[in-house]
Amino acid sequence: MKPQEPIPHNYSISRLNLIFALSSLALVAVTGLVVGYDYIRGWKWFQLEFMRMQRERIVQEMQVAKSEENTKQLAALDEQERKNSLELARHRDQYMTAQKAFDALEGDHYRADQDYRFAKANLDAQRYITEASVVQHRADAAQQQAEYERQSAHLADLQVRLQEVTRQRDAAKANIDQWLKKIKDAEDKKKELTASVDLLSKQLTTVDMGRFSTNWILSQPMLDFVNPVIKIDQVVLNDLSIDMNYMNVPRVDRCQTCHRAIDTPGWESKAEAARLSQELQQKLDAYQIPQEKRAETEERIAQLKRIQDAPNDTLNPWRTHPKLDLYVGSASVHPLLEYGCTVCHRGQDRATEFGRAGHTPASPRMEHRWAERTPLTAGFFPLPSDFAQRHWGYEENEFIETPMYPRHYYEAGCIKCHSSQIAVDRGDDITKATQTVELYGCYACHKINNWRFSDLRKPGPDLGGIAEKTTPEWAFRWISEPHNFRSTTRMPSFFYQRNMIDPSVVPPQERTHNIKLQDAEIHAIVSYLFDKSTHRVWQQPGAGDAGRGKQIVNSVGCMGCHIDTEQVKDEKSGQIRLAKREDFPLERNYGFNLTGVGTKTNSAWIYNWVKNPKSYYAEAPMPSLRLTDQEASDVTAFLLTLQKPSFMKTAIRPPDRQAVHDLAKGYLINTLSDRDAESKLRSMSDHEQLVYLGQRSIEKYGCYSCHNIKGFEGLKPIGTELTVEGSKALHLFDFGFMNEEKWKNEDGVTEHVIHTVPSWVYNKLRNPRIYDDRRTKVYNDKLKMPNFHLTPEEARRIAMVVVGLTKEKVAENRMAGLDAHTRLIEEGRKRVSQHNCRACHVVDGRGRAIASTIADANFLPPDLSPEGARAQSPFLFNFLKDPTVMKIRPWLGVRMPTFHFDDHEANTLVTFFAEAGKGAQFDTTRGANPSPANVKIGQQVFTMLRCAQCHGTTPVNPENPPTPNTADSTSLAPNLTLARLRLRHDWISDWIRRPNEMIPGTRMPTNFPRDAATGGFQSPLALAIDTPQFAQYKSTLLPLFNGNEKELKRTMSDAVALTDYLRDYIWSIGITQMRSASPTGDAPAMAMPQQSLPPATAPAAKSTRNQRAIPAVSGGAGR
């Protein structure tokens, strides 16, 4: 047979087989690498490490649970169980007999129960048949009725039998149980002792990742789709969406994939554990807590103590979130499942890698540590012990639109939801930050479209009448460097700044030229202001006494808003140093520092200003203290003594004509040719050139943003709008040559610029000209934002607000402060802030900055926290409009100022107090008269408790009111004749019962303390009524109770009844009308009520401790 010819091939088959084999192997290898790359993720190691930490902690807790004491108890129980078993063995025959008897009775019970159930079912069927035969009028109805009765009797017999068998069975069971009881008790105690260990053993199983364990197997490649332990955790937030330009998509937060314990108590840092344990212990000491809740709290404190005593601190990302009761905790107001993480912290919500999640370093050191890398193995190979501190894989990514806020800026995220609130509850940092922005007037130069910063006055004074107030020489020196005159001033420095004269960044020749140009601009600004100023003639003060003036300034309330010193004692060194703004509360920085005011201005201006600030500037924030002519003259004399002569000795360089010419020409050639510009300048006098340059310089530096200046009405703010500054991309911020650079500020602090938005803003605030360093610019192109000389803390706070102002939108249902009730409160809080009410008063638990200047606490202005529940709205409205209508405590030196509120402002404040104090309800009790019997009882109780030692009960003589010098500070309290016009009816009795609960620290004594066991109020008169010293009161009171001594004693022990009687007496002595104050501001005359008390009769009704009715008197008005 002819051999088959070989088939021709273009390629060698053997070679192709080899190539295909190698390709297949390569494909398998690449597939394996792809699977491995997909499997080996960085976030898995964090979960594995946390599971390891959990295992270590569980093992430690198991060792504690298996303590020596528990081991001894278990051994004793085992021994007892052995003895019980031996005893049972010795009586085995008796036990077996009892068991057989029980088994037999159990069978009898089963049969009896079955017979009863079947018979009952038959009876139910027979009932239906019987009823049907009656309804259908069948002939066998009687027969069916008889059958029904027979089956009923049979069922009754079966029931008796079942009950008897049940009794016998239960008796047999009890006989068996007595043999097994001791064994069962020992087993139960054993289970109780081992319950915690058993629970921990189950928990240990859930975190066991040992080789070939269930968790380990289900976490392997190609098997981890079944029920993996290591997996991505995420929270989907449908109503907290992300703007993707063309649509809004829900947030999908995956942060807890690595932050495993973020909402789990027990993994706090040592610092957080110390803070929290102290807070919980204070609550335990201060409040009466149910025993069960107290035990839980004590167990939590013990857990926190163990964290503090641990050798190592818990590292991120395995820490519990701080303030778990406020953030991410299931019982917090921001639970994790509803708010997630990125709505507050920002960052890439779906990212699971550290470098892509948007983490932002807070310092260069942190940035360098984050950038270090270690190969990641997800548990296949051993990792270095310091892996958690070294491996982060951070890379700067300027294309992430929403990078996370760095440490110390976390509360910036509060703004997007709490922008409609003046103060964020428990958000102290962001609250202080927004207050700092308002204090420095950032909103004036930079538009901020935010309710918090809307409707605010310009932060600087009106300059329309500057010539009436000061001199050009003082103004030049002031504008040159305000801090040379007053170290605490908020007026920033525009001139002679780092980019103009600092030798380290400006060449000598350019520096000299810049000084001439700066001098020229200052002279020009002064010339313009004084050229456009009004020149009114002010009333001159009379002869004043500086000593009396100082006393007035220190007593009437000036020190609530002003400070009068530039030297303070350093707390650390004990040395006297120059004062800083942060040395004083924000409220006392509201007004300017009085130091040097005598150098700054003249007697006529001071006199008219303190008499009526509105006469100089209608929008002046300073209120009127209603000073008399003599008082104003005395204050003027004192303020003129506050001199700073060294400031006026500073030499003033005359303006360089060429510099003035060059600057003015530089502005003119923007609209004119060079020739026309020169021609126009030649037509101007030197003064006209200065005025023109002044106008252009004011426009350049934006002075009109903070001050009212003639000719600049209606101009828009000069600065960049900050409404969404926090959303601006990183590449849009000009770092100049300062990226990753260190620099030293004028206060000696070395700062470091890192390439993040918060760092850029912070360094810009610390020195606004820093980004001009080493750059070549013409004079008018240099940065010109002024230097506020902010401290690092102030700059951080303002930067926090700036980066928190973003374009992110939050659904209205997640916004705080949008409901009608809260909106009314926040509008009022805004007015309180604008008028600096907290300088003198406590409002919402904060304020009273003036307290540091008043030695005797008895002369402090009142706490207004309960004002809404305490005061009647009509009274409060009239009092705010004109505080002279009623002098509540005329002996106080501090005066309630006249703010000249319009009706809208006064109503806003009244509504705020009413809403905040839940006292907005209308009532008619002001016109009601209490029954005479109640009044008489209240009068006796009033006398027995010696209330008149502190409170007056007759109207104050307006011709001779008590003063701080004539009143006894140990017995000062409001005059009770004003209560009916001022106070809410039911609030009076509530206040008498629990003054310290309503205003902690009040001087009002607690006459009716709470019973520690029941929580009810106790009466001090319950036992005192039978003592000899109270015999006269008893004899007076008995007729009012128809001689019923038992009823009298019951009433004397009823604290609620007694406080209501006291309220009725106080109401009866109150005046019923007031009239407006006289033009001189003297106290108004008070009208006494005309009331005659008819003969009293006994109270008609009884009362209980918790609910009572004040007894009405026959023939009286009742209540």
The rounded distance, in Å, linking the Cα atoms of 58 and 1056 is 54
The answer on pLDDT for 376 being more than 60 is no
Question: What are the tens digits of pLDDT across the range 472-500?
Answer: 999 999 999 999 999 899 999 999 999 99
The answer on pLDDT for 459 being more than 90 is yes
- % the chain with pLDDT above 90: 48
The alpha carbon of residue 393 and the mean position of all alpha carbons in its chain are separated, in whole angstroms, by: 35
Q: What is the pLDDT of residue 383?
A: 44
Residue 89 backbone class (left: φ over 0; alpha: ψ -120 to 50; beta: rest): alpha
The rounded distance, in Å, linking the Cα atoms of 412 and 404 is 10
Taking residue 428's Cβ as centre, other Cβ atoms within 10 Å add up to 12
Confidence band, pLDDT 50/70/90 cuts, at residue 70: low
Mean pLDDT along residues 385-389: 45
Question: What are the tens digits of pLDDT across the range 489-547?
Answer: 999 999 999 999 999 899 999 999 999 999 999 999 999 999 999 999 889 999 999 99
Q: What is the pLDDT of residue 622?
A: 94
The answer on pLDDT for 908 being more than 50 is yes
CATH architecture of 63-217: Orthogonal Bundle (1.10)
Placement of tokens 């069916």 in the chain: 144
Between vectors from CA 521 to CA 520 and to CA 522, what angle results, nearest 5°? 95
Question: What are the tens digits of pLDDT across the range 833-892?
Answer: 999 999 999 998 889 999 988 888 888 899 998 888 899 888 999 999 999 888 888 878
Confidence band, pLDDT 50/70/90 cuts, at residue 388: very low
- Residue spans per domain, the chain: 63-217, 235-360, 410-456+721-813, 466-543+597-705, 820-1087
Q: What is the pLDDT of residue 41?
A: 84
Q: What is the pLDDT of residue 820?
A: 86
The rounded distance, in Å, linking the Cα atoms of 923 and 988 is 14
Q: What is the pLDDT of residue 262?
A: 94
The answer on pLDDT for 94 being more than 80 is no
- % the chain with pLDDT above 70: 88
The rounded distance, in Å, linking the Cα atoms of 1008 and 1031 is 21
* Strand pairing category for 842-843 and 846-847: antiparallel
Cα distances (Å, whole numbers) of residue 342 to 150, 349, 835: 79, 6, 36
The answer on pLDDT for 21 being more than 90 is yes
DSSP 884-906: GG--SSTT-SS---B----HHHH
Sign, CA dihedral 789-793-796-801, equals: negative
DSSP 380: S
> Please, are residues 732 and 760 in contact by the beta-carbon 8 Å criterion?
no
Placement of tokens 């900055």 in the chain: 849
Taking residue 715's Cβ as centre, other Cβ atoms within 10 Å add up to 13
The rounded distance, in Å, linking the Cα atoms of 236 and 250 is 7
Mean pLDDT along residues 811-820: 86
Mean pLDDT (the chain, rounded): 85
Q: What is the pLDDT of residue 1102?
A: 37
The answer on pLDDT for 389 being more than 70 is no
Cα distances (Å, whole numbers) of residue 29 to 19, 220, 222, 379: 15, 18, 15, 21
> Please, are residues 230 and 304 in contact by the beta-carbon 8 Å criterion?
no
The answer on pLDDT for 665 being more than 50 is yes
Mean pLDDT along residues 229-249: 89
Q: What is the pLDDT of residue 199?
A: 84
Q: What is the pLDDT of residue 290?
A: 77
Mean pLDDT along residues 938-964: 80
- Element housing 686 (H / E): helix 686-701
Sequence-ordered list of residues with C-beta below 8 angstroms from that of 58, at least 6 positions apart, any chain? 200, 203, 204, 207
244-251, long-range: CB within 8 Å, 24+ apart, which pairs?
251/340, 251/342, 251/343, 251/349
DSSP 719: S
Judged by DSSP in three states, 253 sits in strand
Task: Give the bridge partners for 871, in sequence order.
Answer: 983
The rounded distance, in Å, linking the Cα atoms of 316 and 369 is 14
Most confident region among 102-116, 182-196, 436-450, 611-625 by mean pLDDT:
436-450
Confidence band, pLDDT 50/70/90 cuts, at residue 1104: very low
Q: What is the pLDDT of residue 966?
A: 60
Alpha helix segments (H runs only) across 922-973: 932-944
The answer on pLDDT for 1079 being more than 50 is no
Taking residue 101's Cβ as centre, other Cβ atoms within 10 Å add up to 16
Q: Which residue has the higher pLDDT, 144 or 802?
A: 802
The answer on pLDDT for 232 being more than 50 is yes
DSSP 985: H
Q: What is the pLDDT of residue 336?
A: 94
Residue 640: half-sphere exposure toward Cβ, Cα within 13 Å: 18
> Please, are residues 1018 and 1011 in contact by the beta-carbon 8 Å criterion?
yes
pTM, to two decimals: 0.82
Placement of tokens 């100049």 in the chain: 736
Judged by DSSP in three states, 167 sits in helix
Taking residue 13's Cβ as centre, other Cβ atoms within 10 Å add up to 9
- Element housing 243 (H / E): strand 235-243
Cα distances (Å, whole numbers) of residue 259 to 50, 60, 242, 274, 319: 9, 23, 22, 21, 7
Q: What is the pLDDT of residue 37?
A: 84
Q: What is the pLDDT of residue 890?
A: 80
The rounded distance, in Å, linking the Cα atoms of 517 and 515 is 5
> Please, are residues 486 and 592 in contact by the beta-carbon 8 Å criterion?
yes
Task: Give the bridge partners for 842, in sequence order.
Answer: 847, 863
Task: At 969, list the tokens.
Answer: 């500070």
Helices then strands, counting H and E runs in the chain, come out as: 42, 10
Q: What is the pLDDT of residue 448?
A: 95
Cis bond leading into 1095, ω under 30°?
Answer: no
Q: What is the dihedral of CA 837, 842, 848, 854, to 10 degrees?
A: 120
The rounded distance, in Å, linking the Cα atoms of 739 and 760 is 9
The rounded distance, in Å, linking the Cα atoms of 442 and 492 is 11
Q: Which of 84-88, 308-312, 740-744, 796-800 has the lowest mean pLDDT?
A: 84-88
Task: At 938, list the tokens.
Answer: 């209240």
Q: Which residue has the higher pLDDT, 290 or 460?
A: 460
Judged by DSSP in three states, 626 sits in coil
Q: Which of 185-199, 550-564, 692-706 has the lowest mean pLDDT?
A: 185-199
The answer on pLDDT for 1111 being more than 50 is no
Task: At 265, list the tokens.
Answer: 């108590």
Sequence-ordered list of residues with C-beta below 8 angstroms from that of 978, at least 6 positions apart, any chain? 886, 888, 1070, 1071, 1086
The rounded distance, in Å, linking the Cα atoms of 935 and 1064 is 6
Task: At 602, list the tokens.
Answer: 């003249």
Q: What is the pLDDT of residue 1078?
A: 36
Confidence band, pLDDT 50/70/90 cuts, at residue 1101: very low
DSSP 733-797: S--TT-TTEEEE-TTS-EEEE-SSHHHHHHHHHH-TTGGGTT----GGGS--PPB----HHHHHH
The answer on pLDDT for 245 being more than 70 is yes
The answer on pLDDT for 178 being more than 80 is no
Q: What is the pLDDT of residue 616?
A: 86
Q: Which residue has the higher pLDDT, 992 or 740?
A: 992
At 549, which amino acid appears?
G
The answer on pLDDT for 1081 being more than 50 is no
DSSP 1086: E
Sequence-ordered list of residues with C-beta below 8 angstroms from that of 345, at least 6 positions apart, any chain? 255, 404, 405, 410, 413
DSSP 6-48: PPP-SS-HHHHHHHHHHHHHHHHHHHHHHHHHHH--HHHHHHH
Q: Could you tell me the maximum CA-CA distance found in the chain, to the nearest angstrom?
A: 152
Placement of tokens 């053993």 in the chain: 201
